[in-house]
Amino acid sequence: MSDMILFGAFPYVAVALMVGVGLYRYCVDRYSWSSQSSQFLESRVLFWGSVPWHYAILMILLAHFLAFLFPTGWGVILGRPIRLYLLEVTGLGLGLSTLIALALLIFRRVLNARVSAVTTIVDWLVLVALFLQVATGVYIAFTLRWGSVWYLHTATPWLWSLVKFDPQVQYLAVMPTVVKLHAFNAFLIIALFPFSRLVHVVSVPLAYLSRPYQVVIWYRSRVGR
Ligand code: HEM
């Protein structure tokens, strides 16, 4: 029963919150739809935390999505031991990078008084949830070997069953607790999404690629400045 609530019902609540509250916030408070950058308050540690964090987490999420969308092709890729080892080692490297980078970003918010002052309760919740997510992910990769393979036979069918509105929670019910925690926490992050700075994920300024470039010209006379 509790598995049905956690893995059969909660994912829909999380996605409904993300879409419903997200759209509402976009319509009524569009100015807040941003990462609320703190770069002006501190930029050095931010650079060393934020850049590796974003590159590594995007690659890891891409791997999660590809294994979900194209399980057959993913299985073929992993069919040769050399490719399986390469993928797992790359995943571990990226996972450890996310863990270190996120730890750096959390320490920055704790130790820098100015950054700490602009950090809200929701920011802390998101940081803790993200840290739990990458820590459990790396733990799974280290201890439950060949996760990239068994993901195809557990996570992928579970996620597709959710998409088809026919939740098959038995795929997760038999998994170790840490995997259940990793899966549940993923949807907790989705639920927190519309209440937090995470909304910046869907505000990539793609229009910048096609819009005419800006020419910035000094308006004042340089004489006497
Ligand atoms: C917010 C969404 C998610 C994030 C940010 C995330 C993050 C991560 C990270 C950082 C790793 C470690 C990668 C490595 O070191 O190889 C990982 C591994 C893993 N994740 Fe997730 N994850 C998410 C959602 C999910 C979901 C929904 C599942 C489904 C149960 C899942 C299943 C796994 C598995 C099985 C591994 C181990 C892969 C391996 O051993 O190669 N993840 N995840």
Render pLDDT for 201-224 as a digit per residue (tens, 0 to 9): 988 777 777 777 777 777 776 665
Write down all domains in the chain, each with its CATH number in brackets.
Answer: 2-209 (1.20.950.20)
Helices (H) and strands (E) in the chain, counts: 11, 0
**pLDDT over 80 (residue 111):** yes
Percent of the chain with pLDDT over 70: 97
Contact by Cβ (8 Å): 59, 95: no
State the pTM of this model. 0.91
Task: Please indicate whether residue 49, judged by its CB atom, sits closer than 6 Å to ligand 1.
Answer: no
Q: Give the Cα-Cα-Cα angle 204, 148, 79 (nearest 5 degrees).
A: 120
Question: What mean pLDDT do residues 21-34 have?
Answer: 92
Distance (Å) from CA 44 to ligand 1 centroid: 29
CA distance 25 to 19: 10
Atom of ligand 1 nearest to the CA of 146: 40
Task: Please indicate whether residue 186, judged by its CB atom, sits closer than 6 Å to ligand 1.
Answer: yes
User: What type of residue is 125?
Assistant: L
Task: Please indicate whether residue 98, judged by its CB atom, sits closer than 6 Å to ligand 1.
Answer: yes
**pLDDT over 80 (residue 99):** yes
Among 140, 141, 186, 158, residue whose Cα is nearest residue 71: 158
| Mutate-to-test residue for ligand 1 from 7, 54, 60, highest number of ligand atoms within 8 A of CB | 60
pLDDT for the residue numbered 222: 62
Using DSSP's 3-state secondary structure scheme, residue 36 falls into: coil
Task: Please indicate whether residue 141, judged by its CB atom, sits closer than 6 Å to ligand 1.
Answer: yes
Task: Please indicate whether residue 95, judged by its CB atom, sits closer than 6 Å to ligand 1.
Answer: yes
pLDDT for the residue numbered 207: 75
Half-sphere exposure of 86 (CA within 13 A, CB side): 7
